[in-house]
Amino acid sequence: MKDVYDAIPKVELHCHVEGTIRPSTVAELAKKNGRALPVGNVEDLYRYDSLNGFLEIFWFVQEMLADQGDWERIAYESIVDAVPHGLRYRETFFTPARHLRAGQDLGGIVDGLTRGLEAAEAETGVGSMLICDMDRAYGGAAGLELVDRLVELRKAGRAARVIGVGMDSTELGVDLHDYVPAYELARSARLRCTAHAGEDTGPLNIWTAVEVLKVERIDHGLSILEDAELTKRASAERIALTVCPNSNVVIANKVETLSAHPFRRMREAGLLATLNTDDPAMTDLDLGKEYRTVAEALDLSLQDMAAVALDGVEATWLEDAGKRDLRARFLAELEPVLSA
């Protein structure tokens, strides 16, 4: 019988396409690119004993994406692998800074990703859009340059699937004010805006993203409850948080165990807190497992998890009619799950 948590229909708003790559695909791309795997056995690729160990593999995997065909392949596989676990719609991050620095062209990367997503949609019926992330390790000027190039592509009709911009990578030692010009340009080009914030830092980081960068969503937002006023404002304005509890335990090491994670308290405080996998392949995760482990660790009922899934629809950047259609579909799919 199908796992009940896999059967819950879900959207996903915080998933990095570079973190979805199957170990077997990494091995094939490494062979194609003439590179040796850093581990003897491909099954051990995504096993780490430290954050540094994780980052080492993360960078290795990034380097395997060498041409348009590679981007197309990982985009396609990222969707078909997630559908059996309940994925019905996704807004996927890609972070091209490192690849652009190595001489790849943003247009080529976007074309590859788009072809992969289109093929997956034709096969599974699951739609997905893209969010272009600035990598904070490269600084505000590189961020502005990236958004500028993206806006150019959109004007040329080449990046219709890229509906927003975000930022990720390191939080410590980064002044978010450096990214104001990039976000202003994105907004003026009618791109939606989000940012990773409050993952490794306190609530001031989230305040700055909301107040100064004027983002509409917060990715992670783990520290938000430390500030009562910010919590009140985010819940009143329905500012969505794309929370990734398993990632916070495994990658950021900010929460010792899932049962110590504030996700349940975020929901009880009225926040529009959604559930997401961040880098699922690299953490032995999928959406069904994310829902199941969080429900079990925080003692949330199936009804609670259905509410989380429906809040995911509200938090998307779909037009109102698209949200209504998806919500109706979710309710129809949830009915047998909840009455079983």
Residues annotated catalytic, as ranges:
199
Per-position x/- string for 224-263, each x denoting binding to Zn ion as judged by CB under 5 A, each - no binding:
----------------------------------------
Q: Give 249 or 334: the residue with its C-beta nearer to Zn ion.
A: 249
Instruction: Tell me the residue nearest to Zn ion as measured from the CB.
Output: 278
Q: Is residue 165 within 8 Å of residue 183, measured between CB atoms? A: yes
Cα–Cα distance measured from residue 279 to residue 251, given in angstroms and rounded to the nearest whole number: 9
Which of 12, 278, 286, 290 lies at the binding interface for Zn ion (CB under 5 A)? 278
Of residues 296, 305, 196, 199, the one with CA closest to residue 250: 199
Q: Tell me the β-bridge partners of 90.
A: 12, 128
| Closer Cβ to Zn ion, 24 or 170, answer by number | 170
Which residues, including other chains, have CB under 8 Å from residue 16's CB and lie 6 or more apart?
Answer: 92, 93, 94, 95, 133, 168, 278, 279
Residue 12 vs 72, nearer CB to Zn ion: 12
d(CA 334, CA 309): 10
φ, ψ of residue 32 to 5 degrees: the values are -60, -40
- Shortest distance (Å) from residue 47 CB to Zn ion: 20
**Which of the stretches 71-79, 176-184, 265-273, 276-284 binds Zn ion when contact is defined by CB under 5 A?**
276-284
Binding segment (CB under 5 A) for Zn ion, from list 39-47, 205-213, 270-278, 296-304: 270-278
Instruction: For the CB of residue 195, give the shortest distance to Zn ion in the complex, in Å.
Output: 10
Min CB(241)–Zn ion separation in Å: 12
Of 16 and 306, the one with the shorter C-beta distance to Zn ion is 16
Give me the 8-47 binding string for Zn ion, x by CB under 5 A, dash otherwise. Answer: ----------------------------------------
Closest to 258 measured CA to CA, from 267, 269, 250, 270: 250
User: From CA 331, how far away is CA 333, in angstroms rounded?
Assistant: 5
Stretch in the footprint of Zn ion (CB under 5 A) among 2-10, 225-233, 277-285, 322-330: 277-285
**CB nearer Zn ion, residue 87 or residue 151:** 87
CB of 171 to Zn ion, least distance (A): 11
How many other CB atoms are found less than 10 A from the CB of residue 81? 17
Q: Least separation, in Å, of the C-beta of 263 and Zn ion?
A: 15
CA distance 23 to 1: 27
Q: CA distances (Å), 173 to each of 95, 108, 200, in order? A: 20, 32, 11
**Minimum gap (Å) between residue 209 Cβ and Zn ion:** 14
* CB of 174 or CB of 189, closer to Zn ion: 174
CA–CA gap between residue 292 and residue 191 (Å, rounded): 33
Q: Where are the beta strands (DSSP E) in 215-284?
A: 217-220, 240-243, 273-275
Contact 36, 30 (CB under 8 A): yes
Dig out the tokens for 204 from the structure. Answer: 């001031």
Instruction: Kindly state the tokens that stand for 214.
Output: 């004027």
Q: Is residue 199 a contact residue for Zn ion (CB under 5 A)?
A: no
Q: Which residue, 76 or 93, has its beta carbon nearer to Zn ion?
A: 93
Min CB(220)–Zn ion separation in Å? 7
Size of the site for Zn ion (CB under 5 A): 1
Query: Which residues in this chain contact Zn ion in the complex, by CB under 5 A?
Result: 278
